Chains A and B, each alone.
Chain A
Amino acid sequence: DSGVTQTPKHLITATGQRVTLRCSPRSGDLSVYWYQQSLDQGLQFLIQYYNGEERAKGNILERFSAQQFPDLHSELNLSSLELGDSALYFCASSAGTGFYEQYFGPGTRLTVT
């Protein structure tokens, strides 16, 4: 158990809908990262937050957004969903920025029908 929790575990929704994925980092960790794992694209970094502020952006679509709250939990919002958004979404956390080990949560499996 990495100490990172993600809810829900599974999510099934229809095209065009909007969903919110939630992540609670390990106790004491200030950085949260979101990754998408799909069969065709592999594991891709989406976005990082550090202590409530956006720190880095990866391959995140404009339809996706994220935020980190004062209690350090984070939410990833996915809107106007398409079939191709079906994937595993992982959250990871680390103590800070720079070199710190990233600990991954168990993931949320999103299926768009």
Chain B
Amino acid sequence: GEDVEQSLFLSVREGDSSVINCTYTDSSSTYLYWYKQEPGAGLQLLTYIFSNMDMKQDQRLTVLLNKKDKHLSLRIADTQTGDSAIYFCAESQGGADGLTFGKGTHLIIQP
């Protein structure tokens, strides 16, 4: 079945780049997403990438997709304390399916 894996924690210093990794198993995944969840809040869509793309950049965010290895990463440049949150990787095949989420990566910012 479908599975999305992420490491549970990532700790970085303020000002450094954060790289959050994700692997997925379903080769028919068409769309891949990154969501952010702050404490006590819902999920905020950060960015997404189609499976026919290798890279997408949006301000401080860079998404890299290695379709052969089924590996997705999210790079946050110049990490700030406001970036502290749980980051979820998710995939879908489009159509009528809901999203399949990883367990989330807690990003911890050290001063």
Query: In the complex, what residues of B have CB within 8 A of residue A107's CB?
Result: 42
User: What would be 25 A-B contacts, judged by CB atoms less than 8 Å apart?
Assistant: A4-B42, A33-B98, A42-B103, A42-B104, A43-B43, A43-B88, A43-B101, A45-B97, A45-B98, A45-B100, A50-B96, A55-B96, A56-B97, A56-B98, A90-B42, A98-B94, A98-B95, A99-B30, A99-B31, A102-B45, A104-B35, A104-B42, A104-B43, A104-B45, A106-B42
A46 to B44, CA, bound (A): 19
Which of chain A's residues have a CB closer than 8 A to the CB of B94?
Answer: 98-99
Cβ contacts under 8 Å, B50 to chain A = 99
Hey, what's the 0/1 contact readout for A42-64 against B, CB within 8 Å counting as 1? 11111110100001101000000
Q: Which residues of A contact B (CB under 8 A)?
A: 2, 4, 33, 35, 42-48, 50, 55-56, 58, 90, 92, 97-99, 101-107
Cβ proximity bits B72-111 to A, threshold 8 Å, 1 near / 0 not: 0000000000000000100000111111111110000000
CB distance from A113 to the nearest CB of B (A): 21
A2, A42, A56, A58: most-surrounded residue (chain B CB, <10 A): A42
List chain A residues, Cβ under 8 A from B101. 42-44
Please report the C-alpha to C-alpha distance between residue A2 and residue B38 in the assembled complex, in whole angstroms: 14
A2 with B96: CB separation less than 8 A? no
User: In B40-71, which residues have CB < 8 Å from any A CB?
Assistant: 41-45, 48, 50
- Known contacts A45-B98, A50-B96, A97-B96; A105 and B42 CB within 8 A of each other: yes
With both chains docked as a complex, state the minimum distance between the C-beta of B69 and any C-beta of chain A, in angstroms: 23
Q: What CA separation (Å) do A4 and B42 show in the bound complex?
A: 10
Q: Which residues of B contact A48 (CB under 8 A)?
A: 96-98
The one of A55, A97, A102, A105 that contacts B99, using a Cβ cutoff of 8 Å: A102
Q: Are B98 and A35 in contact (CB under 8 A)?
A: yes
Complex Cα distance A46/B48, Å?
22
Contact of A45 among B41, B44, B99, B102 (CB under 8 A): B99
